[in-house]
Homo-oligomer: A and B are copies of this chain.
């Protein structure tokens, strides 16, 4: 099946390429019957504009790039879902790339997208990301750019975030309200802003309740995996047999903790209350059901794309765009794993 071009249609109709082009784009300066003839023939021949040529002419690809740490992740896959759909509604396609939590890969992916000349880039940083060069490059090249969730405060671009400090504070306050006296925090890696903020929220809540902060009660994830949760659970019980509350940086790790405790007959919440972060789907089907913080992943995706879209539109029109930061609300979801005064325990 040969590709149909404007030229073919023009030749077949005995008119110029220009007129065909104008007719198809519904320009006002084409006579009604010419327009109709062109449209009819184009339809007959299943004409499709050659997007490569259109890209070259218009200098836009109607494609955006999305870089996330990994697809197989409840939170990120939800964001992806939202971004893809929202982009499509607005005529954009999405190229997805993973950094696998590696800075080197993240840099490579940024480079690939720049070379690809996507119209805009949305990114959630990897845990290793402590170097700005590749991000600055995006700014320098004047490519519309949005960061979400795992952001870099120092880069001037639009951002979509939550108040991690406040959310973590609420989680800890909830544990304290449920009679937890010795609360361990399994924190995220040292670099990411959100794991820093959750850690600060933990400290602030202790302080507010006059509970002395103890660095020995803080464990730091490297891989942020289920297995790490299992391993930390074991270690924590060994180090602090009297621990009565655990706040994990994310549900996946909390699930590891729960799994170890279940397998070793340590009662949750009876002996130790547990709360996670992010509200992964599985949290609601575990035994006991895991308390957590709900993060509006879908909304985050939608807002991220729309911020990018706004910037892409300004970019096209040559209008200056002022980056904005959108902060979305979180909700604490109290289930079974954190309620000490629950009669069933």
Q: Is A61 an interface residue (CB 8 A)?
A: yes
Contact among B52, B142, B262 with A117 in the assembled complex (CB-CB below 8 Å): B52
| Segment with Cβ contacts to B, from A37-45, A150-158, A282-290, A326-334 | A282-290
A335, chain B: closest CB distance, angstroms: 13
Q: Is A32 an interface residue (CB 8 A)?
A: no
Bound form: Cα–Cα A81–B277 in Å: 24
Is the CB–CB distance between B285 and A63 below 8 Å? no
CB under 8 Å from chain B, chain A span 29-56: 48-53, 55-56
A110, chain B: closest CB distance, angstroms: 13
Bound form: Cα–Cα A73–B112 in Å: 27
Bound form: Cα–Cα A226–B285 in Å: 10
A71 with B63: in contact, given A53-B56, A258-B285 (CB under 8 Å)?
no
Which residue of B has the minimal Cβ distance to A284?
Answer: B259
Contact code string A51-71 (vs B, CB < 8 Å = 1, else 0): 111011001010100000011
Bound form: Cα–Cα A117–B5 in Å: 14
A18, chain B: closest CB distance, angstroms: 19
Contact among B51, B63, B115, B262 with A115 in the assembled complex (CB-CB below 8 Å): B51
Which residue of B has the minimal Cβ distance to A91?
Answer: B112
A33, chain B: closest CB distance, angstroms: 28
For A88, list chain B residues within 8 Å (CB): 97, 112
Is the CB–CB distance between B93 and A51 below 8 Å? no
Bound form: Cα–Cα A72–B56 in Å: 35
Contact among B51, B78, B112, B140 with A72 in the assembled complex (CB-CB below 8 Å): B78
Bound form: Cα–Cα A310–B77 in Å: 29
A96 with B96: in contact, given A72-B77, A77-B77, A81-B70 (CB under 8 Å)?
yes
For A59, list chain B residues within 8 Å (CB): 52
Q: Is A147 an interface residue (CB 8 A)?
A: no
Bound form: Cα–Cα A80–B286 in Å: 26
Which residues from chain A sit less than 8 Å from chain B, CB to CB?
1, 48-53, 55-56, 59, 61, 63, 70-74, 77-78, 80-81, 84-85, 88, 93-98, 112, 114-117, 140-142, 226, 255, 258-259, 262, 281-282, 285-287
Shortest 3 CB-CB contacts between residues of A and residues of B: A282-B282, A287-B287, A52-B55
Pairs A–B under 8 Å by Cβ, sample size 22: A1-B142, A51-B115, A51-B117, A52-B55, A52-B56, A52-B61, A63-B116, A71-B71, A71-B77, A72-B74, A72-B78, A72-B81, A81-B98, A84-B97, A84-B98, A93-B95, A93-B112, A94-B96, A95-B95, A259-B285, A282-B285, A285-B286
